[in-house]
Amino acid sequence: MGTTPRRIVVAVLSVLAAAATLQIAAAAFPEKPIHYVLHVSPGGATDVLARVLATALEKQLGQTVVVENRPGGSGARQMAALEKGPNDGHVIGAVTASHIAIFQQRLKEYNIDSVEWVAQMVVDPYLFAASPNAKFQSLEELAAYAKANPGKVKIAGFELGSGGHIAWEILSASMGLPRDAIIYVPYRSVKDGIVATLGGHADFSIGYVDLVLPYATTNKLNVIGVMSDKRSDLLPNAPTIKEAGFDADTDWQQFRGIIAPKGTPPDRQQALAEAIRKAMETPEFKKYVKDAQLMPEFRGPGAFRAFVKKQDDLTRDWLQKLKLAK
């Protein structure tokens, strides 16, 4: 009789000690630098956002956030790094709408269940910017010229099957253009595609406000359409797709967020998401979002995963419609 209460006490103390250890471990997170792995080259829109976020996150987490660029293989290098990295919350990755399409088309060894969806931060409308030397300076002129001169126009964009590529296909379909009327040239990043247009290697590009704005304001590029229901405050003369006369689905927009290796503990996902949410409230991040004409739209782990599932289904429908995936 005397040993039973003692065993119970010992068991209870053991449980309490284990719980205390877990609480201490959780409170200590992060215990070392965070590695933030990107799928793009330095200088692009995703890279710029990552570096602004990294600086803000360092203040929230009390640890260095190391940005690592791993472009190549349509995101394969980034995904391999996340797959091999520790799933303890100290490794995170950048993610965009393009990931979903590429998973379904080129990186079929991965899918939306291959990672943890930690937080969505912003959405970003696509836009189309033409070279001043192009034989068209509006979407209406582009459609007419392409129909009269099939195969003579080149658009510079990101990877085949990416969010940007699907955005172009949506617009192209609303124009009634045959698939071979305009040649889509994929580049390693959105910025590379814009540089190609600036260099005369393409007639127009698909991009984002922050990347195109410096060239639009110096007349090196002419924004002929914005894939949004309203004009950009920074590009007030650039018409929306519908204002240009085309009924394209403007709900298709780029999103940017944070993923983590599969198996990252839910409590650490939540801690990261909360730090990201607070980082988004800092004056520096808010200024970046305003200057880049992004739309802040935070979602934590549960809401982000639900949103991604819907986008995954929508992407599959479009890829099948465009015969880019089975």
Summarize the confidence of residues 20-32 as an average pLDDT. Answer: 63
Q: Which CATH class is domain 127-226?
A: alpha beta
pLDDT of residue 19: 45
CB 126 within 8 A of CB 225: no
Report the share of the chain in percent with pLDDT over 70: 91
Q: Where in the chain is the domain with CATH 3.40.190.150?
A: 31-124+253-321
What six digits make up the tokens of 135? 């034989």
Amino acid at 131: S
Please give the mean pLDDT across all residues of the chain.
90
Beta bridge partners of 225: 128
| pLDDT score of 1 | 45
CA distance 313 to 159: 20
The yes/no answer on whether domain 31-124+253-321 falls in CATH 3.40.190.150 is yes
What are 46-67's pLDDT values in tens digits?
999 999 999 999 999 999 999 9
Are residues 255 and 120 in contact, defined by beta-carbon separation less than 8 angstroms? yes
Q: Does residue 119 contact residue 92 with C-beta atoms inside 8 Å? A: no
Q: How far apart are CA 71 and CA 280, in angstroms?
A: 25
Q: What is the mean pLDDT of residues 112-141?
A: 96
Lowest-confidence pick of 20-24, 99-103, 286-290, 304-308:
20-24
- Segment holding 303, helix H or strand E: helix 301-321
Which tokens in the block code for residue 98? 């393009």
Q: Which residues contact 82 (CB under 8 A, 6 or more apart)?
A: 37, 91, 93, 115, 259, 260, 261
Report whether pLDDT(14) > 70: no
CATH 3.40.190.10 domain range(s) in the chain: 127-226
